[in-house]
A and B are shown apart, each in its own frame.
Chain A
Amino acid sequence: MTATVTRSERISNVASPEPGQGRSLSPSKGRKRTNRAPYLLILPAVAILLIAMGYPLIWQIITSTQQFGLAQQFGQPAPFIGFQNYITLATDPYMWTVIGRSLLFCAACAGVTMVIGILLALLLNAVPKAIRIALQISLLLAWAMPVVAAMTVWNWLFNYRMGAINYLLSAIGLPFQDHNWLEDPLSFYAVALIIVVWMSVPFVAFSIYAGLTQVNGEVLEAAQMDGASPSQRFVHIIAPIIRPVLSIVLLLQVIWDLRVFTQIKLLQDAGSVASETNLLGTYIYQLGTGSSNFGLASAVSIFVLVITIVLSAFYVRSMLKEDES
C-alpha cells in the first residue's frame, strides 16, 4: 500500500508550498492525507455504482448459468446448468429472428439518421441566418421532447381513425383511410423508424454542423478558384475535417439504436402483437418480467452488454485521448 500511495501526487504539486511550511501538520502526516484524498473522493460514486450496477451484473452473470424460472421465483434453489441457457438461445430460431431484426432496424435507423443529419447540417450551413435559427429551434424542440411524451403524440398522429397522418395521406389521394399502421410488422417498424429518426436527427445535425463551422472558408474558396467541383470540395476538404465527428456520431447512433426499447415497447402497447415486433430490449423484458425466465433473460442481457462494450471500445478510446490531453 505505502509504495502505491507515494505515487499519488497532486498534478500541480510543483507550485504548492513546501510541506510543513505554514502548516501545523508534520510533512509525513500531510502527505498521507493528500494521498488518501482521491480515494475518499471517488468512494461515494464507486459505492453506488457497485450497489446498483456491480451487484446486478454479477447476479446476472451467475444467473445466466442457472436454470432460473418460475419455480426459483418461489424460493427453490436454482440448479447450475453451465452454458445451457446460451446453447438454448443459440439454437432457438426466434432468438436469431430477434437479433436479425434488431441489426436490420439498427442499420436502417442509423443509416437514415446519418444521411438526413448530414444533409440538414449542410443545409444549416448554407441558408441565411433567419432560416437557420428557425431550423435550429424546430430541431431543438424535437430533441427536447421527452421520449414518452413524443410517443403519445406519434401514437395520436398515426391513430388509424382520427390521426393527422392518415388524413393527410388520404387528402392527397392515397388509400390510407382508416389504415392501421401497427398491425403489420413491416409498417410497425416503418413507424418506429420514423419516430426514432425524428428524435435522433437533431443531435446528429447539430454535431455535424458544429464540425462544419470548423472548416476554413478560405481553403474552400481556394479550391473553388482552382476549379474543384462542389462534390470534390466535399470529399477532399470537408469530409476529412468532419470525419472524427462523423465517426463518433455514427457509432453512438449504432449503439443507441441497437438497444431501442421505449419506442418499440410503447408502440406495442398501442396494439400490436409483441412476439412479431420484438427487438432485443423488448425480448429481454418479455423473458424476464413476462415469463419469469430469468436464466434466459440474463443470458440475452449478457449478449447485449458484450455487444455494447465491444462497440463502445472505439468511442471510449477517443474519450480517453481527450482525458490525457
Chain B
Amino acid sequence: MTSSDLDTPLRTSGASRSLGPAGRVASEERARVSRPRRRIRPRTIILSAVGIVVALIWIFPVYWMLNSSLLPNVVLQDATPTFLPIGGSIANFVAVIQGGTFLPALGMSVVIAAITVVFCLLFAFLAALAISRFRFRGRRGFVLAILFIQMLPAEGLFIAQYKLMASAGLLNSVIGISVLYIAAVVPFTIWMLRGFVAGIPAELEEAAMVDGLSRTQAFFRITFPLLAPGLVASGVYAFLQAWNEFTIALVVLPDNSAQTLPLWLRGFIQASATHATDWGQVMAASTLVALPVIIFFLFVQGRMTSGLVSGAVKG
C-alpha cells in the first residue's frame, strides 16, 4: 500500500515551467494531463474503496452508540443485532434524563468545567503575557517547568493529590477537584496562548501608546480583541479536558452523590458486570455525554491538528 499511494498524480505548479523551453513544457503538460487518466484510475478506485472501508470501520463505534441509543432494550437483547434504528425512539434519552442521577452529574460537570475554564484562561493568559512580552530572570526555568508539568501523568500524582484533598477536607467537593483540574490544564493552556500572544506584534501596542494610551489601555483596546480566537480555542481545550477527565475524578470524588458525568457513566459499566444492563439507556447516556464534546471538538480541531507538531495533549 505504501508504494502504491505515491503513484497518484502529482500536483504541479508554475515553477516547473522554468525547466525547459516552452514547447517541451507544453508537451509535458499535455502528457501530465492525459497520463493520470489512463494509468492511475484503477489504483485510485482501489484506494478509494480502502478509504471508504477504513472510514466505515472507524466511525462504526460512534454509529453503534447512536443506533443502540435509539432502540428499545427488547430489541437490543436479541442475539441478532439490529443495524439500523428503524422504529427507534428517543425513549431511552427520556428515561436517562428522568432517571434522577443524570441531572445532578450534569450539574456537577458543568460547574467544574466552567470554573476550570474561567480560572485556567485567566491564569494562563497572564502567564502567557509574561513569557511572550517580557524577558525576565527565571523565564526559561518557568517555560521548562510548564513543558515538563504538562507531560506528567495524572497517575503519577493522584494518590498524593487524594491525600492532599483528604487532609484539606475537600474530597467530594467542587472546589477541590477544580483546583486540581486548573493546575492540570494551565500548563498547556499557557503554551497555547503564548503562541497567540507572540503572534500579535508588540509594535501595535506601542504605536497606540505613542498615540497617548496607557499600556493597560493599549492592551485592552488593541491586543485583547486580536487575542479573542486564541482565548476561545484555549477555553474549549480547557472545557474538553475538564469534561472528559476520569482519573483524578475517580480518586477525589469517591462519593456517589458527587459524581461527574464520566464517573456516572462508569457506574453503568460496573453494573453491567453483575446486573442485566439496559444498554439502550447506557448508549443514550453516552451520547448525551459525548454530544457537547463532539460539537466543541470540531471548533478546535484545526488548531489542535496544526499545533500537534508544536505540542498537543490527548484528551
Contact = CB atoms under 8 A, between A and B. Distances in A.
B190 to A, nearest CB: 6
Interface string B278-289: 010011011101
A41 B212 CA distance: 24
A180 B192 CA distance: 44
Given A147-B246, A218-B12, A261-B247, A8 B136 contact: yes
B25 interface: no
Contacts of A37: 130, 134
Nearest to B160: A56
A144 B132 CA distance: 30
Interface in B71-98: 76-81
Given A15-B206, A280-B155, A149 B265 contact: yes
B50 interface: yes
A162 B11 contact: no
A144 B293 contact: yes
Which of B209, B274, B308 is most buried by chain A, counting CB atoms within 10 A of its CB?
B308
A210 B304 CA distance: 11
Contact of B186 (A48, A154, A297): A48
B56 A138 contact: yes
B27 interface: no
Contacts of A137: 55, 59
Given A44-B122, A127-B48, A262-B247, A294 B163 contact: yes
A256 B195 CA distance: 24
A152 B48 contact: no
Contacts of A8: 134-137
A131 interface: yes
A231 interface: yes
Nearest to B6: A230
A52 B158 CA distance: 10
A155 B44 CA distance: 36
A152 B183 CA distance: 28
Interface stretch (A84-92, A103-111, A184-192, A298-306): A298-306
A27 to B, nearest CB: 15
Nearest to A161: B79
Contact of A48 (B15, B44, B123, B132): B123
Given A53-B149, A142-B62, A149-B265, A217 B163 contact: no
A52 B47 contact: no
Contacts, number: 401
A9 B202 CA distance: 13
B142 A148 contact: no
B1 A57 contact: no
Interface string A259-287: 10110011001110000000011001101
Contact of A154 (B61, B139, B143, B261): B61
A288 B159 contact: yes
Interface string B36-74: 000000001001101110111011011011001000000
B294 interface: yes
A289 B59 contact: no
Contacts of A93: none
Which of A48, A151, A203, A304 is most buried by chain B, counting CB atoms within 10 A of its CB?
A48
B187 interface: yes
Contacts of B306: 210
Interface residues of A, number: 131
Given A135-B55, A140-B301, A207-B309, A12 B202 contact: yes
Nearest to B145: A49
Nearest to A132: B51
Given A41-B126, A120-B54, A294 B47 contact: no
Nearest to B32: A221
B110 interface: no
A68 to B, nearest CB: 9
B210 A151 contact: no
A140 B293 CA distance: 12
A11 B314 contact: no
Contacts of A233: 6
B174 interface: no
A143 B149 CA distance: 24
Contacts of A271: 272-274
A70 interface: no
Contacts of B212: 22
A220 interface: yes
Contacts of B287: 149
B299 to A, nearest CB: 10
Interface of B: 1-8, 10-13, 15-16, 44, 47-48, 50-52, 54-56, 58-59, 61-62, 64-65, 68, 76-81, 119, 122-124, 126-127, 129-139, 142-149, 151-164, 179-180, 182-184, 186-187, 190-191, 194, 202-203, 206, 209-210, 212, 243-244, 246-247, 250-251, 254, 261-262, 265-266, 268-270, 272-274, 279, 282-283, 285-287, 289-290, 293-294, 297-298, 301, 305-306, 308-312, 314-315
12 contacts: A16-B209, A44-B122, A126-B44, A148-B246, A148-B289, A159-B279, A230-B5, A230-B7, A269-B270, A270-B272, A294-B159, A298-B159
Q: Identify the 7 closest CB pairs spanning chains A and B, nearest first.
A: A52-B183, A56-B160, A230-B3, A8-B136, A288-B159, A41-B130, A271-B273
Interface of A: 4-5, 7-12, 15-17, 22, 35, 37-39, 41-46, 48-49, 51-53, 55-57, 59-60, 63, 118-120, 122-128, 131-132, 134-135, 137-157, 159, 161-162, 164, 167, 198, 200-203, 206-207, 210-211, 217-218, 220-221, 224, 229-231, 233-234, 238, 244-245, 248-249, 252, 255-256, 259, 261-262, 265-266, 269-271, 280-281, 284-285, 287-289, 294, 297-298, 301-302, 304-305, 308-309, 312, 315-316, 319-320, 322-323
